[in-house]
Chains A and B, each alone.
Chain A
Amino acid sequence: MSDSRGMLGLSSADAVAGPASSAPVRGRRPVAAPISKDTELAVEIRQLVDRGDMERARELFGGLVEAHQRRASRIAYQYLRDAAEADEAVQDAFVKVFSHISSYREAWPFEVWFTRILINGCLDRRKARARRERWLVPSGETTAADEFRASVAGPHDQSPEARLLGRERRERIAAAVDRLDGRQRTVFMLCHYGDCTPREVSAMTGLNESTVRVHLFRAARKLRGLLGGKP
């Protein structure tokens, strides 16, 4: 399992610092797009924090959390494949964003900045987990819990057989995605699970937009090969 952390901006600190404070990296550039509503909100929160109006800043930040938490949870879950860990990763990302909001610059859309922090956190967790699994005997408790949750969850109008088949299909897809090369996986996840455009992924990863498209295509081709043409 290769690590695409380097592609995402070297370190968490760099990701948090944002484009204004980070050194220019070749190929990385801010997205020239109209400022989104969330970006405006983030700027407002930053101003409130700078003024010391923490109460109001927290209140507005709650709105940002609500707007992004579902997408963030989806991304984190696809990265970590563990509900509790994904939950923690999302929480950590939001807390990190709030505590570093003073360093946020609107040169990047808020969602790009936030997603970058989230993915860096997820990659850190994957790395830590790999280290744990190398040295410790896995207990399997979490996996079992998640498996149970996944088996009992799902549309209740489906038959148990349909649910089981759905579960097997999802596991097959997850295993195939996990076999992608680090960069391909990150690009694929951001586009397909995080609903990001290739341009946004380019801003998040520092890759050229055409390179993002190539990675996406190769990821899709490999997945089709692994899944036998149909998921």
Chain B
Amino acid sequence: MNRAHHLQDERLFDCYLAVRTGESLDPPVAEHLIDCDECGERYAEITRFMEVLSVEAASEADTIFTPERLRAQHQHITRRIEHLGHPARVITFPGPAASHQVVSPATRSSGRWIAAAAAAAGLFIGVGLFLERATTRVAPAPHVRRIARQSLLETPAAVEIARPDAFQIDDAFLSELELAGDRPRTRELLAFDALTPHVREITLR
């Protein structure tokens, strides 16, 4: 190989790789590199370029992966390997939450019905109280008014007015409720009413 035929870049790169990996160079090529300054210079340039790339990359990674970081990484790996094959641990929730029983959907739906019935009962009672108050505000019957006027004229002392018994009050209240339930606007509440235990039924038992 004479100086007139310079080595191609590919050949020079092969030389660089051979030196890097500790392989022996092709003797004629090695000779040419010694003899030809131009090829020698090109070879040096390729080598320098590649070395700088490797060194830069290595130093960059080494500044990030310091010995401390590599030690921590080693510990992480060791820990993870120790846990290999172990089943995942199920962490139980503490105390009350753990002992909390799972409510079946059926129980939950019946609970909802009870709540709805209680709400309906509350509504009826509220309506009933309202009506009762409204009734008491109504003017008394003429014979009551007469008796009252007489008693007021005869004796200024307090007079005990005869009251109807509790059963009658309840009965009147419930009939009012039934009347209220029969009204077109509250017909939607009849389903709730059917679920509500009636005072009358309980008393008759």
Contact = CB atoms under 8 A, between A and B. Distances in A.
Interface residues of B, number: 34
A193 B57 contact: yes
A217 B58 contact: no
A220 B80 contact: no
6 closest A-B pairs by CB: A153-B63, A74-B61, A73-B65, A197-B21, A77-B61, A217-B13
Given A69-B74, A78-B61, 16 more contacts: A74-B65, A83-B65, A87-B65, A94-B81, A150-B60, A150-B63, A154-B63, A191-B17, A192-B50, A192-B57, A193-B54, A213-B17, A223-B49, A223-B53, A230-B49, A231-B52
Nearest to B65: A73
10 contacts: A62-B74, A66-B74, A69-B70, A69-B74, A74-B58, A77-B65, A83-B65, A94-B81, A198-B17, A216-B17
Given A74-B65, A150-B64, A99 B9 contact: no
A34 interface: no
B57 A98 contact: no
A69 B63 CA distance: 15
Contact of B70 (A58, A70, A146, A197): A70
Given A78-B61, A149-B64, A150-B64, A173 B53 contact: yes
Interface in A173-231: 173, 191-193, 197-198, 213, 216-217, 220-221, 223-224, 229-231
B78 to A, nearest CB: 6
Interface of B: 9-10, 13-14, 17, 21, 45-46, 49-50, 52-54, 56-65, 69-70, 73-74, 76-78, 80-82, 84
Contacts of A220: 13, 46, 49-50
B80 A91 contact: yes
A151 B73 CA distance: 22
Majority SS of interface residues in chain A? helix
Interface string A86-123: 11001100110011000000000000000000000000
Contact of B80 (A95, A192, A223, A224): A95
Contacts of A90: 73
A90 B64 CA distance: 14
Contacts of B70: 69-70, 73
Interface string A59-70: 001100110011
Contacts of A37: none
Contact of A216 (B13, B56, B61, B69): B13
A89 to B, nearest CB: 11
B63 to A, nearest CB: 4
Contacts of A193: 54, 57-58, 61
B64 A77 contact: yes
A56 interface: no
A77 B56 CA distance: 13
A132 interface: no
Nearest to B60: A170
